[in-house]
Amino acid sequence: MSRVLSVLAALGVLLAVVITPVAARGVASHPHKKFTLGIVLDVGGVNDKSFNHLAYVGLQEAQAAYGISGSYIATQEQAQYIPNLTRFAGKVNLEIATGVLMSQAIYTVAKQYPRQKFAIIDGFPTPDFVHQVNLRNVENLLFHEQESGYLAGIIAGLMEKNHVGKAKHNVIGYMGGLPVPAVIRYEAGYVAGAKKVDPSVKVCGSYSQSFTDQTKGNEIGRTQISQGADILFAVAGASGLGYLTAAQQGGRYGIGVDADQGYLGKYIITSAIKRVDKAVYDTVAAVLNHHFRFGNHFYTIKNGGTGYGNLSPVVPAYIARIAATYKARMVAGQIVPPSKIPAVASC
């Protein structure tokens, strides 16, 4: 795992190259029935209600728009990364890997199949989990998660500062799955946003060390609630569902991640959005229109890749207006959230 964390640290300092929106690329409008897409999902499966599921949604949207054929493989454990990627290699027009933990596997398989077009979400090819190697047949699809986290933190901080509803203790929490760069960026933005509007807010932070263990997530959520946390931000895939359930069970508020998870209940005050579905859809569109480009491509607040989801009715209108103002300032480049978690007092 230490080798994995090395590449995660490297990912945190990548230079941002903003991706060109699909509309600007001139997407073909006719169906492409012979075009095939294969997606290898990370552990957590298609029903994790966040990261992997969004990749599947992107596949469905591309199928509906372009008439392509698409399928996915659900990874059960990390040892399956290379075998799963190899199953699609040389047999599809485009293969997409979801998750930073596949970074070394995508390097290995992409080198073996130089004519196969690949993309990896949240990662880049690396031979050793340390050095990035931009292969000419691999697109690296990356996000500014700190932007979404910051806006979610603004909402959480204002709820605490103004003692709205159940937000009474001026304490918020977050739980990551693993301390990978994408997770850390979410958390960094969240803490910075909350501190911006409520400098005195206390933060409880932890990791479940899993993107699948809902029991552990629930346990961490209950512990943070016992420490006074009123709002819990889950950044842990399926493990985060257990964490959010703890918020519901404890009569507290939750913040979803990646997808808009407001459907879980009114206790979800908002979600930090990451448009993995857009990344999949856009990449398919680009390949169909002969605009495959290897290397780093970033999704940001400016091109609709990040943001926050619908607000629960428990969020007052004045907080909604303030959050919208902060989003507009971020789009204008007046606010640049940090990508590393600032030093704060913790529970």
How do the domains of the chain map onto residue ranges?
2-143+276-299, 145-273+316-331
Asked whether this chain's domains 2-143+276-299 and 145-273+316-331 adopt the same fold, the reply is yes
The CA-based angle 106-28-118, given to 5 degrees, is: 5
Confidence (pTM): 0.90
pLDDT of residue 45: 85
How far apart, in whole angstroms, are the C-alpha atoms of residue 251 and residue 270? 16
The SS3 assignment for 125 reads coil
320 C-beta neighbours (distance < 10 Å), count: 14
Task: Give, in words, the CATH class of 2-143+276-299.
Answer: alpha beta
pLDDT of residue 5: 46
Spatial CB neighbours of 343, under 8 Å, sequence gap ≥ 6? none
pLDDT of residue 130: 84
What sign has the CA pseudo-torsion 67, 69, 74, 75?
negative
Spatial CB neighbours of 324, under 8 Å, sequence gap ≥ 6? none
How far apart, in whole angstroms, are the C-alpha atoms of residue 171 and residue 148? 20
State the distance between the two ends of the chain, measured CA to CA, in whole angstroms.
Answer: 27
Q: Where are the alpha helices (DSSP H) in the chain?
A: 2-11, 51-66, 81-88, 103-112, 145-161, 181-197, 214-226, 237-249, 276-288, 317-331
What is the residue-level pLDDT of the chain in tens, covering all 347 positions?
444 444 444 444 443 333 333 333 344 455 677 999 999 999 988 988 889 999 999 999 999 999 999 999 999 999 999 999 999 999 999 999 999 999 999 999 999 999 999 999 999 999 988 899 999 999 999 999 999 999 999 999 999 999 999 999 999 999 999 999 999 999 999 999 999 999 999 999 999 999 999 999 999 999 999 999 999 999 999 999 999 999 999 999 999 999 999 999 999 999 999 999 999 999 999 999 999 999 999 999 999 999 999 999 999 999 999 999 999 999 999 999 999 986 665 67
71 C-beta neighbours (distance < 10 Å), count: 11
pLDDT of residue 244: 98
pLDDT of residue 291: 94
How far apart, in whole angstroms, are the C-alpha atoms of residue 315 and residue 251? 15
How far apart, in whole angstroms, are the C-alpha atoms of residue 98 and residue 276? 9
DSSP 16: P
How far apart, in whole angstroms, are the C-alpha atoms of residue 239 and residue 226? 19
pLDDT of residue 31: 63
User: What DSSP string runs through 28-83?
Assistant: --S--TT-EEEEEE-TT-TTSSSHHHHHHHHHHHHHHHH--EEEEEE--SGGGHHH
Tokens found for residue 250:
């404890």
**What pairs with residue 98 in β-bridges?**
121
Task: Give, in words, the CATH class of 145-273+316-331.
Answer: alpha beta
How far apart, in whole angstroms, are the C-alpha atoms of residue 251 and residue 142? 35
Tell me the one-letter amino acid at 255. Answer: I
Burial category of 226 from C-beta neighbours within 10 Å (exposed 0-12, middle 13-18, buried 19 and up): exposed
pLDDT of residue 47: 87
Nearest to 41 by CA among 28, 53, 58: 53
